[in-house]
Structure 1
Amino acid sequence: MRIVIAGGHGQIALRLERLLSARGDEVAGIIRNPEQGDDLREAGAEPVLLDLESASVEGIAAHLQGADAAVFAAGAGPGSGTARKDTVDKRAAMLFADAAARAGVRRFVIVSSMAADPAHQGDDVFDVYLRAKGEADAYVRGLDALDWTILRPGRLTDDPGTGLVRLEAHTGRGSIPRADVAAVLADLVDSTATAGLTLELISGSTPVSVAVKSVAGN
């Protein structure tokens, strides 16, 4: 498979790139800082230099041509203000989804957030973030050209992955190591069985592959 990841230098994305390249997939990661290229190459991914905040749908679609799946794992980051929650977490996600549809890449997985909601109230940065993520999710759900899955992890940690998760439509709040999020994403891109599902993810007691197969069968 060829998989293109938006936000290719993110902490989850780098872990995902290592997993995908290790199993033999062809991986490309979109970055806007050329200095990050070596980190992607070390992870087994091809760096693609592109600024999603200024790129066109056509420009992004050109890099998605021939891909089997697209993953949106970009984010403005915890230190960013409200403006970039809109330009990255919302608008870049919508643009990437439109580009995937334009390029004919049906399999689309977006990394969202627990409690993302387009109707979320409040003006603090985190409120704006949850609203932006929710609006992006709602937009993706409306694209019939995509076999989309929305993944909403709980509180992210840098703890070592356990390979044991809880993956359901509604899990309740909890935490999850980034390594386990990456492992779930690697399984999700492999199959369209979870297409049309919005899934919450926290640490649990079920092996990743079993959890993905179980939710796909429901």
Structure 2
Amino acid sequence: MRIVIAGGHGQIALRLERLLADRGDRPAGIVRRPEHSEDLAAAGAEPLLLDLEAATAPELARLLDGADAVVFAAGAGPGSGAARKLTVDRDAAVLLADAAGLAGVRRYLIVSSMGADARAEYPADEGFQTYLRAKGAADDAVRSRPDLDWTVLRPGRLTDGPGTGLVRLAPGLPRGAVDRQDVAAVLAALLHEPGTAGKTLDLLSGDATVAEAVAAAAGRD
């Protein structure tokens, strides 16, 4: 499979690219900084240069030529202001959906967040509220697309480690944490599981293997 990842230099994206390349897929990552290309190449991914905040859907669609699936793993980051949370976490996700539609790429995975909601109320932290609303609006936009076989993945609080390979994957899970390596492993498995299309799934550390969790989410347990 050729899989194009928006936000190709992100922490989850680089892990995903390595996993995909190791199993024989052909990952490509969209980055806006040329100096990030070497990191993608080292992960086994083709670097594609494009600024998602300035591109048009037809420009992005040209990069998706021949793709079997796309993954939205971009994010403005915790140090960004409210404006970039909207232009990256929300608008760039919608742009990728529009481009996938133009390019005829149906499979679309979006990395969201537990608690994402376009009407989220989080008065203790206005920046985090904006982030949850931006992610929620992006999820809503993707889920509204009949031309996409979408899956919304909503990880809990992200941690850095080697991953355990053991997760919980289901709608409506309680708050918790999950390692970025395990998020990448679940994304890699979801890309090859069409039975998870049309589902919004929360993701936490747990006690099921990634293969078992994805099979259960697809109704194959």
TM-score (norm 1): 0.98
Match of 2:91 in 1: 91
The separation in 2 between residues aligned to 1:122 and 1:15, in whole angstroms, is 30
1:32 to 1:166, Cα distance in 2 relative to 1, 3 A:
same
Structure 2 gaps of 5+ residues are none
State the Cα distance separating 1:121 from its structure 2 match: 2.6
The separation in 2 between residues aligned to 1:189 and 1:182, in whole angstroms, is 11
The separation in 1 between residues aligned to 2:121 and 2:219, in whole angstroms, is 34
Match of 1:101 in 2: 101
State the Cα distance separating 1:150 from its structure 2 match: 0.1
Match of 1:68 in 2: 68
* Deviation per residue, 1:157-184 (Å, 9 max, x gap): 0022000000001111100000000000
Letter in 2 for 1:109: L
State the Cα distance separating 1:122 from its structure 2 match: 4.9
Letter in 2 for 1:192: P
2:80 matches 1:80: yes
Tell me if the contact between 2:193 and 2:218 (Cα under 8 Å) persists in the aligned partners.
no
The separation in 1 between residues aligned to 2:100 and 2:194, in whole angstroms, is 15
The separation in 1 between residues aligned to 2:8 and 2:148, in whole angstroms, is 21
Letter in 2 for 1:214: A
2:147 matches 1:140: no
* Deviation per residue, 1:27-66 (Å, 9 max, x gap): 1000000000000000000000000000000000000111
1:122 to 1:157, Cα distance in 2 relative to 1, 3 A:
closer
Structure 1 segments of 4 or more deviating over 2 A?
A: none
The separation in 2 between residues aligned to 1:214 and 1:194, in whole angstroms, is 9
Match of 2:21 in 1: 21
Match of 2:55 in 1: 55
Letter in 1 for 2:54: S
The separation in 2 between residues aligned to 1:92 and 1:121, in whole angstroms, is 23
State the Cα distance separating 1:191 from its structure 2 match: 2.2
The separation in 1 between residues aligned to 2:67 and 2:211, in whole angstroms, is 23
The separation in 2 between residues aligned to 1:200 and 1:122, in whole angstroms, is 20
* Deviation per residue, 1:68-119 (Å, 9 max, x gap): 0000000000110100000000000000111011100000000000000011
The separation in 1 between residues aligned to 2:63 and 2:106, in whole angstroms, is 15
TM-score (norm 2): 0.97
The separation in 2 between residues aligned to 1:88 and 1:56, in whole angstroms, is 14
The separation in 1 between residues aligned to 2:106 and 2:72, in whole angstroms, is 13
The separation in 1 between residues aligned to 2:18 and 2:80, in whole angstroms, is 27
Alignment RMSD: 0.9
Match of 1:45 in 2: 45
Tell me if the contact between 2:193 and 2:214 (Cα under 8 Å) persists in the aligned partners.
no
Q: Give the aligned length.
A: 218
Structure 1 gaps of 5+ residues are none
Letter in 2 for 1:210: E
Q: 1:183 is matched with which residue: 185, 196, 200?
A: 185
Name the SS for the 1:120 alignment partner.
Answer: coil
